[in-house]
Amino acid sequence: MKNYLLLVLLLLPFVGISQSLQNIESVEYDHENSRFLVSNSSSIIAIDSENQELSFFGDGEAGYGMEVMNSTLFVIGDGIKGYDLTTEEEVMSLNISGSGFLNGMASDGVSRLWVTDFSNQRIYEIDATDPNNPTSEMVVANTGSTPNGIVYDETNDRLIFVNWGGSADIKTVNLDTYSVATLTGTSLGNCDGIDNDNDDNYFVSSWSPLRISRFDPDFSGTPETIEAPGISNPADICYAKEIDTLAIPNSGNNTVTFIGFENPLSVRDNQDNPFHFGIVGNPVTIQSYLQFTATANSRVTLSILDETGKTVATLIDGSRSPGEYKVLLNGIDLASGIYLAQLRVGDMAAAKKILVP
């Protein structure tokens, strides 16, 4: 399985006076203007990808899913709206008769949008070729589940969507027949968002447990787990392919977590280590993270101890299923000094010395 280097983690509860993150649900990357756009209930907030400054995106409103297509930001709010990315003015408005709780949104990058209906278990297709006369059609009348985040798989010309509820399946829609099939089962509960990277790896956000899971392109094998301080009810995530950055809107604490990726760097530095437990970035910086592998369902504790043996931070304390795990160290308030990262998986233990400059 390919490993990744996590480059940056930034948590943004608020910046400035007039702009703040409140009731956030979705984030989308605007490559033309090098910014992330965040649905903010009664507004849309733009976050500059370089200096992290916040500003209002025109007078637009978005409550749920968003999608950038053809220099237009499409959003779910009071119906479906479209906003020009340059002028930030409304250029499209569409109400879908008979729809319920519209939630997730995807596009083919050309003319078609798809929207999940959380409450009615449906999927609608929108033709936005002519913004002055958009049309919609219900293409899936019953998903057999509670659909949430959705993404277009260009390689296989299909839709992939995640679902709410316990042990939620990940499903696919054949765009020739609009038939629905289960792509893979999961042990994840209340999956909210999904997006893919340049290599067609798929990232899924879940509330139970709170994490991001990375699936291989064919959804085979055990997904890799990414955990980070500050993740709270991660919602409709976005992978900005142009800058290889995953943006996670945390609806539980109204922050956005950014994780940058670069290939490859392995942390498996000790072949005798049964967990492949290692650290990338030592001395510790905002780029550092711990990684380990659990080979069976186990109780896992991951703690940071100071030189006296006192636990100063507990990063994981609970059951974990088999798989690879990454745990970011940014966001942990540690004074300069030498610490010990202690991992316990079932009855076995391992430790790594870390230096905080």
Amino acid of residue 191: C
Residues 237 and 325 in one domain: no
Letter for the amino acid at 102?
L
Q: What is the mean pLDDT of the chain?
A: 87
Q: How many CB atoms lie within 10 A of CB 333?
A: 7
266, part of any domain: no
217 near 198, Cβ under 8 Å? no
Residue-wise pLDDT for 309-338, tens only, equals 889 999 989 888 888 888 888 778 888 888
What are 262's two structure tokens?
């670069």
The one-character DSSP state at 187 is: S
What's the pLDDT at 274?
Answer: 58
Kindly state whether residues 200 and 347 are assigned to the same domain: no
pLDDT at residue number 50: 75
Q: Write the pLDDT tens digit of every residue in 102-116.
A: 999 999 999 999 999
Of 158-172, 291-305, 317-331, 343-357, which one has max mean pLDDT?
158-172
Mean pLDDT confidence for 83-107: 96
Residue 206 falls within a domain, yes or no?
yes
- The domain total for the chain is 2
Q: Which of 166-175, 201-210, 330-339 has the lowest mean pLDDT?
A: 330-339
CA separation for the pair 95, 144 (Å, rounded): 24
- Are 252 and 315 in a shared domain? no
Residue 269 in domain: no
Q: Which of 208, 236, 261 is the last residue of a domain?
A: 261
Domain identity same for 64 and 190? yes
- What is the model's pLDDT at position 35? 95
Q: Which CATH number do you get for residue 332?
A: 2.60.40.3080
pLDDT over 90 at 228, yes or no = no
Cα(41)–Cα(39) distance, rounded to whole angstroms?
6
Is 50 within a domain?
yes
Dihedral Cα 142, 249, 257, 74, nearest 10 deg: 90
Per-residue pLDDT band at 9 (split at 50, 70, 90): very low
Q: Decide: 240 and 27 in contact? Cβ < 8 Å.
A: no
Mean pLDDT of all residues in 242-258: 89
Q: Is residue 273 part of a domain?
A: no
Same-domain pairing of 246 and 300:
no
Does residue 296 or residue 33 have the better pLDDT? 33
Tell me the Ramachandran region of residue 94: left when phi exceeds 0, alpha when psi lies from -120 to 50, beta otherwise. beta
Within a domain: residue 240? yes
Q: Do 253 and 302 belong together in one domain?
A: no
Range from 140-154, 163-177, 249-263, 266-280 carrying the lowest mean pLDDT: 266-280
202 and 318 within one domain: no
Q: Which domain holds residue 147?
A: 5-261
Query: Do both 37 and 148 map to the same domain?
Result: yes
What is the DSSP annotation of 194-258?
A: EEE-TT--EEEEEEETEEEEEE-TT--SPPEEEE-TT--SB-B-EEETTTTEEEEEETTTTEEEE
Same domain, 297 and 256: no
Q: Is residue 326 part of a domain?
A: yes
* Cα radius of gyration rounded to whole Å, the chain: 21
**Full-model pTM:** 0.75
Residue 262 has a pLDDT of: 56
Q: Which of 261, 288, 309 is the last residue in one of the domains?
A: 261
17 Rama sector, left if φ>0, alpha if ψ -120 to 50, beta otherwise? alpha
Q: Are 65 and 75 contacting, i.e. CB atoms less than 8 angstroms apart?
A: yes
pLDDT higher for 23 or 295?
23
Could you tell me the CATH number of the domain that includes residue 215? 2.120.10.30
Task: Determine the length of the chain.
Answer: 357
- In this structure, the answer to whether residues 234 and 287 fall within a common structural domain is no
User: Is 270 within a domain?
Assistant: no
Helix or strand (DSSP H, E) at 180: strand 180-184
Per-residue pLDDT band at 282 (split at 50, 70, 90): confident
Per-residue model confidence (pLDDT) at position 265: 31
